Amino acid sequence: MKEQIKRFLLPCIIFLVFEAIAIILWLSLNNIFYLFNFTYIGFFVSLGIGLVIAHYKNARIFIQFFIGLYMLVYLGFICRENMQLEGFFYYIAIGVFESAAIHYLVAKIGGPLIFGRGWCGYACWTAMILDLLPYKIPQKQPIKKLGLLRIIIFVLSLTYFLILFFYYKENIEKIMFVSFIIGNIIYYGIGILFAFLFKDNRAFCKYFCPITVFLKPASYFALLRIKVKSEKCINCEKCQKICPMNVDMLNNKRSRKNGTECIQCLKCSMECPKNALSW
């Protein structure tokens, strides 16, 4: 009984953290939107984690769509905010502390110090589609050198923003919105292509996604990490075979193989026959 209470305490704590952020931003910026925004996201993230802990098979994908579509359709298309990397650069450059800027600071820069790459596992609107593809279990280990593509794309995104900012200021708002639409089409196209090329749904995340330039360094120091209880482990290696990000789940060190790739999906925990893996 105590073990069950302990396991489900985490989703409650996560919700309270999001609610604290919601209230602080609402009161400090005098905008009730932030109360709704972070309450909504916090509720579904904590609900998703709770359902995953309870071993509901498709809970995480269900939550990905609730959060991902909210950010893509409502914040992106309806509110016309560029939620991609270029949008973050833009809002920071003009000193506007709005949805895109706050989103990056909370979910992708500061948040990973606490939650690791939970964004990638529960909220990413690109991954919500890619996770539906047939290669849920990677067919082979990642090709490390291809990971440099992520840095190249990051630099290209920054360069693209700088060109717009200094040479197309008059039309930059419209260009940013069009860029958001085109950028998402490109990301989905490349993500699906990479999934079939590498027989790995998450190949896009491992080789192409520029956001990992923020996520990986911060997630190395994440407070929330999945660890193995060695006294329970029988070394069946099922956790390693099922991991979509090829993380060495049998090693508790921060420097473990592909450790900063962990998306907190808990597939390893659900697969473990001895319940040896948990936060």
**If DSSP codes are grouped into helix, strand and coil, which group holds residue 25?**
helix
Contacts of 30 (CB under 8 A, 6+ apart): none
> Distance (Å, rounded) from C-alpha 72 to C-alpha 166?
27
Q: What is the mean pLDDT of residues 178-188?
A: 94
Q: How many Cα neighbours within 13 Å face the side chain of 18?
A: 21
* CA 31, 32, 36, 41 torsion-angle sign: positive
Whether the predicted pLDDT of 198 surpasses 90: yes
pLDDT at 167 (0 to 100): 83
225-279: CATH, from 3.40.50.880, 3.40.50.2000, 3.30.70.20, 3.40.50.261:
3.30.70.20
Q: At what angle do helices 172-198 and 85-93 cross, to 10 degrees?
A: 150
Task: Give tens-digit pLDDT for 206-251.
Answer: 999 999 999 999 999 998 888 998 888 888 988 888 999 999 999 9
Lowest mean pLDDT among 54-63, 157-166, 184-193: 54-63
Tell me phi and psi for residue 206, to 5 degrees.
-80, -25
pLDDT at 7 (0 to 100): 66
How many angstroms separate the Cα of 158 from the Cα of each of 41, 90, 151, 164? 28, 10, 11, 10
Report DSSP state, residue 139.
S
Average pLDDT along the chain: 89
Percent over 70 (pLDDT), the chain: 97
Whether the predicted pLDDT of 88 surpasses 60: yes
Percent over 90 (pLDDT), the chain: 47
User: Domain-by-domain residue ranges, the chain?
Assistant: 57-220, 225-279
Whether the predicted pLDDT of 2 surpasses 70: no
Identify the top-confidence range among 147-151, 189-193, 216-220.
Answer: 189-193
* CA 85, 86, 92, 97 torsion-angle sign: negative
The answer to whether 96 and 167 have CB atoms below 8 angstroms apart is no
> Distance (Å, rounded) from C-alpha 156 to C-alpha 209?
12
Task: Give tens-digit pLDDT for 95-110.
Answer: 777 777 888 888 888 8
pLDDT at 1 (0 to 100): 54
